[in-house]
Amino acid sequence: MTDRFPPPSRAATWLLCCSLLAASAVQAQALRPSSGLRAPAMPSTSVARTADFIVALVNSEPITNSEVRQRLVRLEQQLTQQSAPVPPRDQLARQVLEQIVSERAQLQLGAELGIRVDEASVAQAEQSIAAQNQLSPEEFRRRIAADGVDINQLRNDLRNQILLQRLREREVESKVRVSEADIDDFIRERQGNNDVASLQLNLAQVFVLVPEDASPDRVQALQARAQGVADRARAGGDF
């Protein structure tokens, strides 16, 4: 499933979650979405508000109706704030459920592979979001508190998103293979093409490895190193 929603622009950017990643080939046993997902506005009675039930299982780990409803409400609010079209609630609820199932399966795989996210990485991600919204960490926390967002839930969501990103990077890296024949073909193509008019720009990337257990100071030092390389490349240095 691929969701095509415009990116959010508010400080609560994390809510939409970059978790709209392509689902990995992980088996997940999911139940059919319950008709409870079609519930209209939030229930008015205290009994209805506390009622909850399982709508799906991912390798015996339950996904509850309240989880789906909470994310569904957040997504509807974001789409409304962006003046984007909001799909029918039944359709959106099923998309949200599929997204959560995919995420949960990937998180389980990441845990099995031993991928861990330390507190320093979570703190760095929180600071980055605050900086992107031109807020200090304290201002950012006050803003999300005013929006009714629990800081612990935010940090847990960030942790999950970092884990998913690392899992995706590991899967991509494990599938990238360049053979000697590929290298020879590339060299021959470049040697045989001296036509300036057909010259193409080749872009390259420099990756600076950040250990999973790196301290905030170490992360900052590595960021400065990466920025220095980028600055030299833009200035015409030898990439």
pLDDT digit string (tens) for the chain, length 239 residues: 434 434 433 333 333 333 333 333 333 333 333 333 433 344 444 444 557 899 999 998 999 999 999 899 989 988 998 889 999 999 999 999 999 999 999 999 999 989 999 999 999 999 999 999 899 989 999 998 998 888 898 899 999 999 999 998 888 777 777 788 888 787 777 776 666 555 566 666 667 777 777 788 888 888 888 888 877 877 777 65
Domain residues for 214? 207-239
Q: What's the confidence (pLDDT) of residue 180? A: 82
Closest CA to 162 of 17, 8, 61, 22: 17
Number of C-beta neighbours around residue 117 at 10 A: 20
Mark whether 111 and 153 lie in a shared domain.
yes
d(CA 85, CA 78): 11
Q: What's the confidence (pLDDT) of residue 36? A: 38
Distances in Å between the Cα of 76 and the Cα atoms of 52, 72, 81, 237 are 21, 6, 9, 47
Mark whether 156 and 41 lie in a shared domain.
yes
Contact 126, 154 (CB under 8 A): yes
Bridge partner residues of 63 (DSSP): 56
d(CA 66, CA 52): 6
Last residue of one domain, picked from the residues 174, 193, 226: 174
Q: What's the confidence (pLDDT) of residue 121? A: 92
Residue 133 is assigned to a structural domain of this protein: yes
Mark whether 59 and 152 lie in a shared domain.
yes
Mark whether 60 and 142 lie in a shared domain.
yes
Number of C-beta neighbours around residue 157 at 10 A: 18
Mark whether 135 and 229 lie in a shared domain.
no
Which region holds residue 23: left if phi is over 0, alpha if psi is between -120 and 50, else beta? Answer: beta
Mark whether 212 and 170 lie in a shared domain.
no
Contact 48, 69 (CB under 8 A): no
Mark whether 77 and 143 lie in a shared domain.
yes
Number of C-beta neighbours around residue 154 at 10 A: 21
Contact 36, 55 (CB under 8 A): yes
Q: What's the confidence (pLDDT) of residue 47? A: 41
Residue 47 is assigned to a structural domain of this protein: yes
Mark whether 156 and 70 lie in a shared domain.
yes
Contact 15, 74 (CB under 8 A): yes
DSSP state of 183: H
Mark whether 77 and 167 lie in a shared domain.
yes
> In the chain, at which residue ranges do the beta strands (DSSP E only) sit?
54-58, 61-64
d(CA 74, CA 231): 39
Q: What's the confidence (pLDDT) of residue 15? A: 34
What is the tally of structural domains in the chain? Answer: 2
Structural element, H or E, at residue 121? helix 119-132
Residue 56 is assigned to a structural domain of this protein: yes
> In 59-206, at which residue ranges do the beta strands (DSSP E only) sit?
61-64
Mark whether 30 and 124 lie in a shared domain.
yes
Mark whether 138 and 211 lie in a shared domain.
no
Mark whether 217 and 127 lie in a shared domain.
no
The CATH number of residue 93's host domain is 1.10.4030.10
